[in-house]
Every structure is written in C-alpha cells, then in structure tokens.
C-alpha cells in the first residue's frame, strides 16, 4: 500500500482557528494523513475532540503527554509538510527566534520538510516592524510565509490580516507536497503577473472583450507563491477566487492594465504578461445606452490600445525577466509557431509562451499546452496538461535565467 502523505497541521491561538477545521477536512478527504498540533490557546477556540475526530489521531498540545515517545520528534521527523494556520504574531515571533516551550514550537524545530506559515492577525499587528522582521527571518530560512488576505477581521474592522480561505491554502499545500523541496527556488523574488481579459466600454452596458478567464495567470501566481515568491497580480475581470498570499489589483480596461503594470513593475524581478489585453478600443464612448430601435448613431470606429508588453520591455530594470503570452491561431499567413516567432521578435521579451486557442482550447479551459520561445533561441514544448503544469515549466525556465 502506498504511504499517504503526512501533514502536520499546527494551529495557534487566534479566532481564525475555526477556519483550520475546514482545512483539516480538505486535507483528510484528499487522502492526507494529518496530525494536528494545537497550542493551549488554540484549544480555547476549538477543542481537542474536534481535531481528533476529524484527523483520526490524538491532538498533541503538550510535550508532557506520551513523553517516553518524544512525540514532537516522532511527529516532526515523519512529516512531508508542516502547515501552521493560523500563525499568530506570537507564534511567528517564537518560530523566528527558535523558542520551544510547547508541542507546536518544539515540533517546528524538528521538521526537515517544507514549512508553510499562514498568518492571521489584526492589521496593525501584521504591519508592525517586529512582525515583519520575524517574517523576513523565517523566509530567509526557507519557510514559506503567505501574505494574509484583505477583508473583514474581528468586530467591525477590515484590512490586511485575514486568514485566506481554506481551499486556497489547500492549493498551496498541494503545490508544496508536489514539489518536495524545503527550499523554494523563487524565495526572495518579486513577481508581477497580469491575468484575465480586458473590457473596452462601448456604452454603460456593452463592451468589447475576449474569452480569457484568468485561469493561466492565476495558476502562474499560485505556483510562484508555492515556490517562495512575493506575488502581485493585476487581474482584469477575473471571477476566480484570489490566490492565497498574493496581492491582487482588480482592473477592467487595457488602459487600467497598462497603468497598474507600469506602476508595479519597477521593483519586480519577473514580469509576466499573461492577460489578454485588447488591441483596440472604441474611439467614442456613448454615455447613455445605445437603444436597439434607434440603431447605432454611426459605425463603431476602433482605435489602437497601447502595447503594454513592449512598454514593459522598454522600461525593464537590469536583470529583470519579462515574459509575454501569445494566444494564436494559424492562418494563410503562417502557422501558430511562425506567428509566435514573429511576435517574439517584435516584442523583445525574454520568453514568449505561445499557445493555440480556439473554441475548445486555451481560453476558459482548465488545461493548456504551449511552446515557450526564448530570445536566446531556445524552444521548449509543454505537452497538454493542467495550467499549473504549464506554469511550473515556465517558472523552471525563468529560474534558470535569473542572475
């Protein structure tokens, strides 16, 4: 029988501990062997019977229980992944300084597998210099510390510090278990990704758009996060759940994408233009809805939009990697690959991901296939698979070119 992946779920004493119950359920129902290690304060929010019933194992919180078995060593050494969710400011401080005064903190010192911290706390606590210094320390040691989500906190407060949704945390867990490495290869890197498809308004109701769902861009963001990157996503009309740990900037039009990408690209190590940006927009915008019985007042005249990828290439900083995407169809003028090569020459980016699109492929599909063309003449074929698998191949190529 194949051994089930072993996950240690640490739970610190924050109100978001109730969300960790759902994360535990997702882990166990997807075939993982989970041992829960709650702190004493976590048990004030969710009791041990809940953790034990859902995991099928004792919920260790004290090092004095079963001391003859040295449980923190046994649990830690056998883990394939350790997740701490929620990770409070106190827990992050203890972990950063190597303190070990309970079962959870001692277990953290025994694991050699990937470690994922999912912070949850009030905005001011998260932004405090002490917390940020502790997070930086943990990241330099190879731990993955997600950025918290933005939203409703306790009481009437809102802001950065909310625990990401359990299903999005689960995506990161799967990526870490699939990678099998305790040292994320994009750690310390800043990544900027655009995703989705733009909408160019014709009147208050209608727009010119495209079929891009943002799935590939979000897959790029999620895989980059799991590989340790600090990720910002410029999302154009994406209705998917936001990737856990990413900074999301929601935009609408090609002009919005251009403004956001140029503003955010300066400090990025890698810029990926995965969004489908309109080549044209209506020259005139009708301030009132165009009525069907009135007909169009005049033919719709289109005007070109800015070429965001070309601008990003022209403004890139030294050492920055710029990646473009080309959704192509073959025609009488050339094949998909020929159009891709011509586009790579025009755009000047380091890598161009070329994929054939149509009614049953590319856009809106969970799967993709592509050819990645390098400015250095390399050609990398990516066979049909999930958009996450395409993303991983691309990040492998990017990592090889960094520095």
Whether residue 184 is predicted with pLDDT greater than 90 in this model: the reply is no
Give the CATH number for residue 202: 3.40.50.10300
* Digit-coded pLDDT (tens) for 43-65: 999 999 999 999 999 998 877 66
pLDDT at 286: 87
Give the percent of the chain with pLDDT over 70.
93
Residues 231 and 138 in one domain: no
Q: Distance between CA 324 and CA 193 in Å, rounded?
A: 10
170, 210 Cβ separation under 8 angstroms = no
Residues 120 and 217 in one domain: no
Number of domains in the chain: 2
pLDDT at 162: 93
Task: Residue 396: name the closest of 376, 372, 367 by CA.
Answer: 372
Residue 281's Cβ-count burial label (10 Å; 0-12, 13-18, 19+) is buried
Q: Bigger pLDDT: 323 or 154?
A: 323
Q: Distance between CA 350 and CA 333 in Å, rounded?
A: 25
Residues 209 and 325 in one domain: yes
285, 208 Cβ separation under 8 angstroms = no
Residues 22 and 100 in one domain: yes
Joined together, the tokens standing for residue 37 give: 């290690």
pLDDT at 10: 97
Report pTM: 0.85
Average pLDDT over residues 195-222: 94
Q: Given the structure tokens 């997807």, which residue do they identify?
A: 30
* Digit-coded pLDDT (tens) for 361-371: 556 677 888 99
Residues 313 and 371 in one domain: yes
Domain limit, last residue, from 145, 179, 213: 179
User: What residues are annotated to the active site?
Assistant: 210
Let me know if residue 50 belongs to a domain. Answer: yes
Query: What's the half-sphere exposure (Cβ side, CA atoms, 13 Å) at 158?
Result: 3
Whether residue 256 is predicted with pLDDT greater than 70 in this model: the reply is yes
Q: Could you tell me the residue range of the domain that residue 112 belongs to?
A: 6-179
pLDDT at 290: 83
pLDDT at 330: 72
Q: Distance between CA 102 and CA 104 in Å, rounded?
A: 6
Q: Bigger pLDDT: 25 or 298?
A: 25
Residues 130 and 172 in one domain: yes
Give the CATH number for residue 83: 3.40.50.1950
Residue 359 pLDDT grade (very low, low, confident, very high; cuts 50, 70, 90): very low
pLDDT at 152: 82
Residues 225 and 273 in one domain: yes
Residues 266 and 148 in one domain: no
* Digit-coded pLDDT (tens) for 7-53: 999 999 999 999 999 999 999 999 999 999 999 999 999 999 999 99
Residues 113 and 231 in one domain: no
Task: Return the sign of the alpha-carbon dihedral for residues 121, 126, 130, 135.
Answer: positive
Average pLDDT over residues 136-155: 90
Residues 165 and 272 in one domain: no
* Digit-coded pLDDT (tens) for 80-101: 999 999 999 999 999 999 999 9
Let me know if residue 185 belongs to a domain. Answer: no
Contacts of 229 (CB under 8 A, 6+ apart): 184, 186, 187, 189, 190, 191, 270
Domain limit, last residue, from 121, 145, 179: 179
Let me know if residue 184 belongs to a domain. Answer: no
Q: What one-character DSSP code corresponds to residue 103?
A: H
pLDDT at 292: 75
DSSP assignments along 232-248, one per residue:
EEEEES--SPPPTT-EE
Let me know if residue 48 belongs to a domain. Answer: yes
Domain limit, last residue, from 179, 210, 239: 179
* Digit-coded pLDDT (tens) for 235-254: 999 999 999 999 999 999 99
């Amino acid at each position: 029988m194949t051994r089930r992946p072993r996950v240690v779920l640490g739970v610190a004493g924050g109100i978001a501990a109730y969300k960790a119950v759902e994360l535990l359920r997702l882990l166990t129902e997807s075939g993982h062997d989970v041992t829960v290690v709650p702190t004493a304060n976590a048990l004030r929010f969710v009791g041990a019977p809940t953790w034990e019933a859902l995991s099928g194992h004792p919920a260790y919180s004290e090092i004095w229980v079963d001391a003859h078995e040295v449980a923190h060593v046994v649990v830690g050494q056998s883990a394939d992944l350790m997740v701490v969710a929620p990770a409070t400011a106190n827990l992050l401080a203890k972990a950063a300084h190597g303190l070990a005064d309970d079962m959870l903190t001692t277990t953290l010192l025994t694991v050699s597998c990937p470690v994922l911290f999912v912070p949850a706390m009030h905005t001011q606590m998260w932004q405090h210099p002490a917390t940020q210094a502790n997070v930086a320390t943990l990241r330099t040691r190879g731990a993955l510390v997600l950025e918290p989500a933005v939203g409703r906190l306790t009481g009437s407060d809102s802001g950065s510090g909310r625990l990401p949704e359990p299903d999005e945390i689960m995506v990161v867990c799967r990526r870490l278990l699939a990678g099998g490495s305790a040292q994320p290869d994009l750690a310390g890197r800043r990544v900027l990704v655009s995703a989705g498809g733009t909408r160019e308004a014709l009147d208050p109701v209608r727009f010119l758009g495209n079929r891009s769902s943002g799935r590939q861009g979000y897959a790029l963001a999620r895989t980059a996060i799991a590989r340790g990157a600090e990720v910002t996503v410029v999302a154009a009309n994406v209705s998917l759940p936001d990737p856990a740990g990413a900074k999301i900037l929601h935009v609408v039009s090609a002009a919005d994408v251009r403004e956001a990408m140029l503003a955010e690209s300066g400090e990025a190590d890698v810029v990926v233009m995965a969004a489908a940006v309109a080549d044209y927009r209506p020259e005139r915008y009708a301030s009132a809805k165009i009525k069907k019985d009135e007909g169009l007042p005049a033919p719709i005249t289109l005007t070109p939009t800015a070429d965001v990828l070309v601008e990003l290439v022209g403004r890139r900083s030294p050492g920055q990697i710029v990646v473009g995407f080309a959704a192509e169809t073959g025609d009488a003028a050339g094949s998909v690959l020929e159009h891709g090569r011509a586009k790579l020459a025009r755009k000047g980016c380091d890598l161009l991901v070329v994929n054939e699109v149509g009614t049953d492929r590319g856009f809106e599909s969970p799967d993709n296939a592509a050819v990645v063309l390098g400015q250095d003449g390399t050609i990398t074929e990516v066979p049909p698979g999930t958009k996450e698998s395409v993303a991983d191949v691309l990040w492998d190529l990017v990592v090889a070119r960094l520095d």
